[in-house]
A and B are shown apart, each in its own frame.
Chain A
Amino acid sequence: MRNLSMAAAIAGTILLLNAAPVWAHHAFAAEFDSTKPLKLHGTVTKMEWINPHAWIHIDVKNPDGTVTNWMVEGGSPNTLLRNGFTKASLPVGTEVVVDGYQAKDSTNRMNGRDITLPDGRKLFVGSAGQGAAPDEKQDK
């Protein structure tokens, strides 16, 4: 019984820890607009390995045939490297689908909520954590 209640306490503790605000370099909610969800199909033109967060640049073809370059905010370069994400992971020319939210100032910047590759692999989402390569899961 005692073990059971301690197990429950530990489980409860985990819940408490995870209920805490998500913690990162800056508040995404202050930068991106929850009323402007976006799903863009584009081609990678550049990845900026810069601090505090990496930015992925993609060209997106508009319905009228013109092309707009969008910037997609990613994670800390140090962490991406340690988690197995390298320069070779997202080469120029890769076609991606990006789900995210547009910047509040309505410029062509967005957060990379989900980034999906042509073969269905998703980068970043629900990945295996420490030391893991980019997630291999298929689209849900």
Chain B
Amino acid sequence: MLRQSLLSVCIAMVAGAQTPPKTDAGQPDLQGIWSNATITPLERPADLGGKQTFTAEEAAAYEKQAVARNNADQRGTNTEADVAGGYNNFWYDRGTKAVGTRRTSLIVDPGDGRIPALLPEAAKRAKEKREWMDEHATDFPEGRSLGERCILWTTAGPPMLPGPYNNNFQVLQTRDRVVILNEMIHDARVIPLDGSPHLSSNIRLWRGDSRGHWDGSTLVVDTTNFSDEYSFRGSDRNLHLIERFTRTSPDTLLYEFTVDDPTAFSKPWTAQIAVTKSKGPIYEYACHEGNYAMTDILSGARAAEKKNPK
């Protein structure tokens, strides 16, 4: 953790941060609309081996190729693949740039840029969950993913990661609260800064219970009490998430998070994203509003059953 904090400070210095702007309450001002869109993947692709950072030329080549591939017609080679890949790039709003640090992965710790292995018991749980989802994929809404059910989106967080679209979040502050409004699934997270303790451990929330405090110019947000039904890359109810937000320049925010879950991962891991100012606005994404897909999926399965009774 110390290494990561030092790294953050170094990045902040390189980015030219001197005195971050302050709110009326005298706190560092993180407010604004921010975008975390990037083509840099969470985990370092295996074929990049031990390469932690691109040169400027390599990053440019990587960006060029990624954008070209994303823009290519995604037509499938057969009808099944064509339906599955029925989205082309016009429907996405992905990043086009590698992260400013030119890291080859968002994960900075461990050094291999990969999520540490799940512990055997956690891997078993994840497998059982997948099998249950497969078995009940079209039986009822609960057999579909939380994203398809418009409950939460895996990249909306916490922790927040780049996704296919709606990669924007807005930070609003008062002296005692920070609100993070994430465009994806239109989630607003209200984070007390008043030193109050976490909720009782028997109260479990979809996106956990977040409490914040200031560490110098950095907002540190500590989240626990995640729902049993929430899993981030294999985490379980013991997930303890630590997020750090540091204003590194008028137009950049360094967002870091550490995933600490001793019953799921063999060790904690940390990722960093250099978030940039977004011109906005954030649009509402009222996901339930017209989620015809859920009824279509279930009614499609019922129609198939009528046609081919078991």
Binding site for B on A (CB under 8 A): 6-7, 9-18, 21-35, 37, 48, 50-53, 55, 71, 73-83, 85, 100-101, 103-107, 109, 111, 113, 123-130, 132, 134-135
Contact = CB atoms under 8 A, between A and B. Distances in A.
B289 A27 contact: no
Nearest to B304: A104
11 contacts: A10-B58, A15-B69, A17-B69, A30-B300, A50-B286, A51-B289, A75-B92, A75-B165, A104-B299, A104-B304, A113-B86
Interface of B: 41, 45-49, 51, 58, 61-62, 65-67, 69-74, 78-80, 82-94, 96, 137-138, 144, 147-148, 150, 163-166, 183, 283-294, 296-297, 299-304
Contacts of B304: 104
A47 B271 CA distance: 40
B290 A50 contact: yes
Contacts of A106: 303
A29 B84 contact: yes
B45 A16 contact: yes
B65 A11 contact: yes
Task: Identify which of B66, B83, B137, B163 gathers the most chain A CB atoms within 10 Å of its CB.
Answer: B83
A104 to B, nearest CB: 3
Contact of A31 (B67, B82, B150, B300): B300
Contact of A13 (B62, B92, B96, B165): B62
Given A27-B84, A129-B70, A134-B90, A53 B285 contact: no
Contacts of B286: 50-51
A126 B71 contact: yes
Contact of B291 (A52, A107, A128, A134): A52
A114 B302 CA distance: 28
A110 to B, nearest CB: 10
A105 B69 contact: no
A55 B138 contact: no
A127 B88 contact: yes
Given A29-B83, A106-B303, A83 B47 contact: no
